[in-house]
Amino acid sequence: MGLTIAQKIIKAHLVDGEMIPGSDVGLKIDQTLTQDATGTMAYLEFEAMGVDRVKTERSVAYIDHNTLQTGFENADDHRFIQSIAKKHGIYYSRPGNGICHQVHLERFGKPGKTLIGSDSHTPTGGGIGMLAIGAGGMDVAVAMGGGAYYIPMPKMIRVNLTGKLSPFVSAKDVILEVLRILTVKGGVGYIVEYAGEGVKTLSVPERATITNMGAELGATTSIFPSDEITKAFLKAQNREEDFTELSSDPDAVYDKEISIDLSKLEPLAAMPHMPDNVKSITEIGKMKVDQVLIGSCTNSSLYDMLKVAAILDGKTVDPSVSVGIAPGSKQVFNMLADCGALSKLIAAGARILECACGPCIGMGQSPNSKGISLRTFNRNFEGRSGTADAGVYLVSPETAAAAALTGYLTDPRTLDADIESIRLPDKFLINDNMVDAPASVEEAKDVEILRGPNIKPFPKTEPLWDTIDAKAVLKVGDNITTDHIMPAGAKILPYRSNIPYLANFCFTRCDEQFPENCKKYGKGIIIGGENYGQGSSREHAALVPLYLGIKAVVSKSFARIHAANLINAGILPLTFKNAEDYDKITQFDDLELPNIRASIANGAESVVLKNKTTGETYDVVPMLSGRSRDIILAGGLLGYTKESSK
C-alpha cells in the first residue's frame, strides 16, 4: 500500500511509535518558530529545561503580534526574546520584518521538513510541502531541546481539486468552501492533503492561504505537493537548493475524500461568528460595510496585495468605509513600493498598517459599535476584533477591495479591473537584514538575558492528586474557543508573560465571575461541550486555568492543540462517554473523581465522575495515551521532562 505525502514525511521523521491512526507517534522536528505573544513563555520553559543551545536545524523567534507598544511590557518581552535567541542559537526576526508564517514561507520553509510553531496557523508551511503543525509553547520548547514532538497518528483526508479558478475567485474561496463542507470540527484527527489537476493552477502563496486557514478545520495540518510550482517559488526566493519533489503514491489510501471543481466556485464569505458559517456573496446580498481590513497571515502575500492594488488603482475608497491594509512582510512591503503598487493603495485612501498581525488578533483597528467589518483574516470569533457587538465577515482580498470601493458587500466579479495578468515575479527582493543570527557558542557565554518586571515565573504544577474533589466552577457550550478562555487584544496581550495578571480575564466573556469563583473555591472542574478549546494554540488558555486551580476539564470533545496544552499543564482532559450526561451537571455542583491517580496509572479506559450534589455518577474517558498518561501523573510536561532526565 502506498503512502500519502504526509505519511512519507512522518515515516522519515518517526522516532517513536507506530503509524497506526490514533496511536501516539514521536517525530523528530527540523524547524521551530515562535511569535512574541507565545514566545516569552516558551523560552521561559526552554530555560527551565537547562539546555544550552537549540538542537533543531533552524529555530526562529518572530516579533509580529505585540508590536503595539502602549507601555513597557511588549518592548521588555521583545528584548527578553532577542537576548534568549542570541544566547541559545535561535534566529531573531525583528519587529517590522513581518508575520511569522509569511516570512517563514518566504525565507526558511523547506519541502519535506517538519516544523512546529507556537501559533496555530503554522500549517501555512504546508503550502510549500512541509509537515507544519501548530503546537503549545511547551511542546516547541521540548523540540528546541532535541525532544520528539508527539501527536496521535492522524487519518488522511484527500481534497481533490479540478478545474481552474475564475477571475475574482481566489484561494480564500477554496478554503471557505472546504470549511462549509467539513465544518470547524471536520478536520479533527486528520491531515488534509490537496491533490488533483487543479493543484497545478495554484501558486505557492495561494496554496499557503488554503493550508493556513486549514487550522480552522481543527485538522492536525494541511499539505500540498512539492512540485515545479514550488521549485519556481523557491528559485525566485534564491533558495532553489531547498527544493525537494514530493507527491503521494498512486496507490495511497485516504480515509475520506472530497472533490471541489475550482471553476464552479464563486466568491464566498464566512458570516459571524464562526469560520464555517459560509455563504456566497450573492446569497448574503447587499449589506452596508463599515470597515475593510486586508492582510493577516492568510492573505498578505505579494500576490494578494498586487490584486488589491489593481482593483483600487485610480479609484477612491468609499467615504463611509475605514480601509486598512497590512503587507505580510518587509519583502512584500518593499516590492509594493518598488513597483508602484503601494502608491496606488495610498492614493485610493487606504490606511497602510505595519507588517504585523495587528487587527487579526485585536491589536488595533477595532470596528465601530455594531459595525460590519470585512476582513481577509482567518477567524471571526465573537469579540475577537475588540468590539463585542461587531459583525465580522471573512472574505477574499478581491471581495474586500470591492466593498472598500462601493461601501457594500459586493461581488468582485462585477468590477472592471485587470487582475488576470498579475503574476508572481521571477525574482523576489532578497534582504534579510532584519533577521539577526545567534551568537556563536563561545560568544553566547557572555550574552546576558534581559528580563523586564512584567515577566513572571511559570505557574506552579504538582503531580496528579489521588482524588479530585471540586466544584463545577463553570459550564459552557459547544465550540468554546481559546479567545473565550483567554482573550487576546491590545489590552490583554501585553501581559502574556504575566500569568497572575492574565488570570483576571480568564473566561470573563462567558462568566464575569469566573476568576473570583476560582479564587473563592481554590480549585475547580470545568464542564464543556463539543470542540472545547478550538482556535489558537495559545497555551495560556491552559496555564491560566492551571494558576486558578482548575484540576480537570470534562467535555463532549476537545480541539487537538488545546487538549495537548491541558495535558502539558497537568490539567486532566476527560470526555463524557454518554454525551447526554453533560445536561445533568449544573454549575457549582460538587463533583468528585475518586481514586483518579490510581485509575490513570492503571490505564483505565473510563473513570467515574461523581456528582455529590445530585447523587448521580457518570462514565468519563481520559483523553490520554501511554506517554500523556505519564505526563498527567507527573503534573505536566515540565515535571515529566525533569523526571525523565534523571
Q: What angle do CA 616, 619, 625 make, to 5 degrees?
A: 150
The predicted structure's pLDDT at residue 329: 98
Among residues 13, 158, 375, 379, the one annotated as catalytic is: 379
528-543: b or e for each residue (b if 16 or more CB lie within 10 Å)?
A: bbbbbbbbbbbbbbbb
Residue partners of 119: CB distance under 8 A and separation at least 6:
33, 34, 35, 38, 100, 101, 134, 536, 537
Other C-beta atoms closer than 10 Å to the C-beta of 68 total: 14
Residue partners of 570: CB distance under 8 A and separation at least 6:
461, 462, 464, 546, 631, 632, 634, 635, 636, 639
Q: What angle do CA 389, 393, 399 make, to 5 degrees?
A: 145
Among residues 158, 538, 560, 562, the one annotated as catalytic is: 538
What's the chain's Rg over C-alpha atoms?
24
Residue spans of alpha helices (H) in 222-325: 228-236, 281-284, 302-312
| Catalytic annotation present for 413 | no
CATH class of 468-644: alpha beta
Helix (H/G/I), strand (E/B), else coil: 146: coil
Spatial contact of 219 and 191, defined as CB atoms under 8 Å apart = yes
The predicted structure's pLDDT at residue 646: 56
Among residues 13, 65, 78, 496, the one annotated as catalytic is: 65
The predicted structure's pLDDT at residue 489: 80
Peptide bond connecting 273 to the previous residue in cis, omega within 30 degrees of 0: yes
Among the listed residues 200, 136, 131, the one whose alpha carbon sits nearest the alpha carbon of residue 164: 200
List the grid coordinates of 80: 527578553
pLDDT (tens digit, 9 = 90+) per residue, 322-368? 999 999 999 999 999 999 999 999 999 999 999 999 899 888 889 99
pLDDT (tens digit, 9 = 90+) per residue, 471-494? 999 999 999 999 899 988 878 888
> How confident is the prediction for the chain on average, in pLDDT?
95
CB-facing half-sphere around the CA of 430: CA atoms within 13 A: 12
Domains 5-264 and 468-644 belong to one CATH topology:
no
Helix (H/G/I), strand (E/B), else coil: 536: coil
CATH class of 275-413: alpha beta
The predicted structure's pLDDT at residue 645: 57
Among residues 24, 30, 119, 139, the one annotated as catalytic is: 119
> Mean pLDDT across the stretch 289-305?
97
Q: Which fold has domain 5-264?
A: Aconitase; domain 3 (3.30.499)
Spatial contact of 234 and 227, defined as CB atoms under 8 Å apart = no
CA 119, CA 121: separation in Å to the nearest integer? 6
Among residues 248, 536, 557, 628, the one annotated as catalytic is: 536
| Catalytic annotation present for 483 | no
What percentage of the chain carries pLDDT values higher than 90? 85
| Catalytic annotation present for 65 | yes
Residue spans of alpha helices (H) in 319-464: 330-339, 341-348, 397-406, 441-444
| Catalytic annotation present for 538 | yes
List the chain domain ranges.
5-264, 275-413, 468-644
| Catalytic annotation present for 13 | no
pLDDT > 70? residue 437: yes
> Mean pLDDT across the stretch 32-41?
93
pLDDT > 70? residue 436: yes
The predicted structure's pLDDT at residue 304: 97
The model's pTM: 0.92
271-283: b or e for each residue (b if 16 or more CB lie within 10 Å)?
A: bebbbbbbebbee
Residue spans of alpha helices (H) in 89-170: 100-107, 137-144
Residue partners of 479: CB distance under 8 A and separation at least 6:
184, 274, 529, 530, 531, 534
| Catalytic annotation present for 451 | no
Strand partners, 133: 116
